Structure formats: C-alpha cells, structure tokens
Amino acid sequence: MQVSCSRKMQLEKELASELWRVRWEDLQASSLERHLRSAGSRLTLSGRGSNYGSLITTEGQFQVFAKTAYYKGNLVAVKHVNRKRIELTRKVLFELKHMRDVQNEHLTRFVGACTDPPNICIITEYCPRGSLQDILENDSITLDWMFRYSLTNDIVKGMLFLHNGAICSHGNLKSSNCVVDSRFVLKITDYGLESFRDPEPEQGHILYAKKLWTAPELLRMASPPTRGSQAGDVYSFGIILQEIALRSGVFHVEGLDLSPKEIIERVTRGEQPPFRPSLALQSHLEGLGHLMQRCWAEDPQERPPFQQIRLMLRKFNRENSSNILDNLLSRMEQYANNLEELVEERTQAYLEEKRKAEALLYQILPHSVAEQLKRGETVQAEAFDSVTIYFSDIVGFTALSAESTPMQVVTLLNDLYTCFDAVIDNFDVYKVETIGDAYMVVSGLPVRNGRLHAREVARMALALLDAVSSFRIRHRPQEQLRLRIGIHTGPVCAGVVGLKMPRYCLFGDTVNTASRMESNGEALKIHLSSETKAVLEEFGGFELELRGDVEMKGKGKVRTYWLLGERGNSTRG
C-alpha cells in the first residue's frame, strides 16, 4: 500500500513538473531556416510545413521538409501545430509524459513542446538525411536490396516498440514520417500526442493524398480514432513496403493514372478483389509481395502483427543478416560510393555550365580582357596609338522598319548579323557592338597587331559588302539591302565600363570620325579617311579612288576615298 502511494505521488510530481515545456524564446532560428525563409517566394504550397510531414504541390507532387531551430545548442525539428490553444488536461499531460518516456533508436527523440499561443509546436530530434519518401523518390540515390531491407527492418523495430508501449499505435504512419539520421538509421516520427494533431485539411486534394496510407476500415469511419489502430498501422506499413520495393511513388498501380481521390474512393468501396497497389516484383521477391498482400488485407484480423512481420523479414533476408556495425559500415560504403558518383556528375555539370558562361563572356568581351576579369583583376583603361574602326548601317532602314512588323525587323537583323559575325571570324578584328542597324568593329586592340589593323578591316569590309550582295530579306526576298560603310584609322582609349553588364568601350575622336565617315558615305560603298588610305598604301594591292573633299560636322572639309577592291582577291567592293 505504501509503495503504491509512493508511486502515485511520484507520478503526480512528474506530471506537475512540466519537464517537457519549451519556451518559444529559447528556440533560435537556424541558418537553414533563414535560408528557406529567404526563398519563400519559390515555395508556395510546397513550402516548409509540418515536421517531416508531406506537403503536396499544385501538381500533386509530394515534397517533405522540416522546419529547424537551435535549442540549447542542438539543431532540432520544429512542427507547428495548427491550433489556437492546447488545454493542459490530465490526458494531455499523460500524452506528454509518455513521449518523454520513449527511448528507442528507431523513434525520433521527443525534446519538448511549446504551448504558448500562437507558437504552439512540437520539438523533436532532427534527422538531416531527410525522409524515406525523399530518398525513394530521388533517382540519383542508388538503393540496393541490403539497404532497402535495412530501412524496412528499422521501421518494423520502431513500430514494434510503439505497439508494445503506452502509446499503442501510430495512426499516421507513412514514408514521409520515416526519417533518416546522420548514421543512416531510419526513425519514425509524428507519433503520439493525439491532442496536438492538426485537424483535417480542408483542401480536397491534400486530404485525399494524405490518406493514401490509411486502412480501409478507418477510411469508412465518420470519425476515426486519432491514434488509428495497430492493424491500421500494419496496413500503412504494407503501402510503405510497396514504395520501398518499386520506388514508383505511393500506391503505384501499373497501367493506371489515378488521382488520390479516385484511389481512396475505390479502397473505401471495398471492391472484390480489394483495390490495392501493384505487385510487379521480380521472382526473388515473391515472398515480399506475399507479405505486402497480408499487410493490406481487407480484414484487419488477417494482417500479421509486427512481431510476425519481423520474423518473416528475417527469413527473406538471411544473406544480409549481419550485425548492426557491419550493416552500418555497408550503408556508409554504399552512400560514399553514391556520393562519389553524384560529385562526378555534378562536377561535369558545373564544368559544362562554366564552359558556357566563359563562351558567353568571350562573346561580350575580348578574350584577353575576359581572362583578366576571370582572374579577379581590375581591367585598366589602355591607350592605343593606332587602330582602325569600321562603322556600317543600312540605308533606308527606318523606312523599311516602318513597313515591317517588329518581329520581321528582329528576324532581319538577326539574320544579317549572324551572317556578318560568320564573316568577321575570318579576320583579326573585334566586334564592339551593334545598335539597331549599326555595326561597329575594330582591329588593333586589345591585342596590338602593328599596322595590320587597316588591312584586316579593309578586307573585312570588302567581304561584308560581298556577303550583303547575296543576302536575302525573308519577308522581302526581292529587295536588296544597301549597306553603307565608313572606316577611319587613329588613336583611341579602350576599357571595361560597368559591373552588372560590363562593356568594352572605345573613346576618342577616332570613334567620332569613323562614325562620320559612315554617315557621309553612300550605299554599297566603302568610305575611307586619308589616314586609313595612307596605311593601306603601305601594303599595296588595294584599289582606291579619290572621292574629294567632304564637309563633315565638327571637322570641316575632309579629303576622303572610296575602297573599290583588292588586286589578286576575288572579293570586290
């Protein structure tokens, strides 16, 4: 009698001590949580919700996440409870006590609970490898049958402990409530604490998707018990077993593409034979298929208890019945091998993206300048004593644009500049920019080439003029494009301008003069300054014709020339 009273007093003292209580202020947001919050615009319905609970996107995809925080220096999982308040009745206090009493390596450790509105939440051990559902649906993770049997056995051990303890049953067993810790041990979460369970969601699709693991007898109840039943847990285990075996998603039915609602309706109806997932297993897995069928039997009495399931799994997996340490080492080895493959795959993907980025950078900036930027060096502006600049535009482009649709104009310019870009690749030149119908090219920078720049630009201009003669406008195939070209030689200063969209720009009077040469030229002719003419004469072979003195804005009268062609070269102006 005295012992009984002492035990009762000890129990009452334990209930009153509230050792489970966690203050909201004691939870500190983790860096992971802050990162997820910053990405909130991308999360929508698949946002971070219940502790490892399934969340369904608008497409019906499952995504499993855990909110995290630091409590007393340890990273923990935080499950927010969608209730305005929790009454601390004697029943609730016993639920919390039972959670604190749970000590099993295959059940997530209960850290505590916060019952202060509006921050009502449950705090449990955090398992960084994610949920079983995550692992099964990730095609990049290879799982051999030793690993799958090991995960399955972990579920059975955890459920066996629950069924033999004060909590009795889970009631919400599913692959998203099975999580994997850093040692690759599977642990069951979201058990117990009936009073903290969220009310059923209002959204139809989400509600049906969450019931895919629920036993038919519970589906038929108007108000099923929150903690479910032990036979119902066995049914849920059978559904998970099929997920593990086939890795085709929850309740996969071969040849049928059914919505969660359609599946639940057929299971609830009690068809003959009962509507269940597919059993398309290999011959050596027939025993496992038979176990699944027994687990999801229509009659709850025909479903085997977890003690019997444990014995059956041992019989199926005799060749992998090594001790825990060997099993763990094997898991680690497999994971390491898988990681090596993933690293190699991601490295190749990274190198490919790097190559594409560099190719784009080389198109935007000269190669030597791009290399400097890649090395993190500041690109200093540089003066060049002598370069040759090419400008061209299309005569009558404004009128042509007015008579064409915007899409036709874009197509025309894209076709034309694709043609031009292919031509200039054959010469030692650098394309500075294109603005509308204007095309600007330079030679002699950033890599100096002596006096060759004038010859390179002259030959390029002749080649472009030749290319334009055979160019056809898609929406006006009978019309000939009339290119007007101006070239000038002189000193410039060049450098990179801007950070977000850096541009390699040229500055100096030479740029303005080259532009004036183009604007004062004529259609289908190459207009040269006397400076360019003087350099070309050093090479000989170019056919030049005096145009005369031309009045240019800001320059007065300037003597200019026409470039007609190059002797011994089939390309002509």
- What is the token pair recorded at 473? 């406008």
Residue 33: pLDDT band by 50, 70, 90 thresholds? low
User: Could you give the CA distance from residue 415 to residue 417 in angstroms, rounded to a whole number?
Assistant: 6
* pTM for the predicted model, two decimal places: 0.57
- The structural domains of the chain, ordered by start, are 15-321 (1.10.510.10), 374-566 (3.30.70.1230)
The two counts, helices (H) then strands (E), for the chain are 18, 17
Question: How many residues in total does the chain contain?
Answer: 573
Judging by DSSP bridges, how do beta strands 556-566 and 525-529 pair with one another?
antiparallel
Biggest distance spanned by C-alpha atoms of the chain: 127
Residue 49: pLDDT band by 50, 70, 90 thresholds? very low
The candidate with the shortest Cα–Cα distance to 211, out of 301, 195, 279, 220, is: 220
Per-residue pLDDT, 314: 87
| Bridge partners, residue 439, by sequence | 392, 434
The structure tokens 């219940």 sit at 50
Burial of 261 (0-12, 13-18, 19+ CB in 10 A): middle
| Bridge partners, residue 36, by sequence | none
Over the stretch 423-440, which tens digit does the pLDDT of each residue have? 998 999 988 888 888 899
Residue 241: pLDDT band by 50, 70, 90 thresholds? very high
The alpha carbon dihedral of 525, 529, 534, 538 has a sign of negative
Per-residue pLDDT, 55: 38
Residue 325, helix vs strand vs coil: helix
Over the stretch 121-178, which tens digit does the pLDDT of each residue have? 999 999 998 999 999 998 888 788 888 888 999 999 999 999 999 999 999 999 999 9
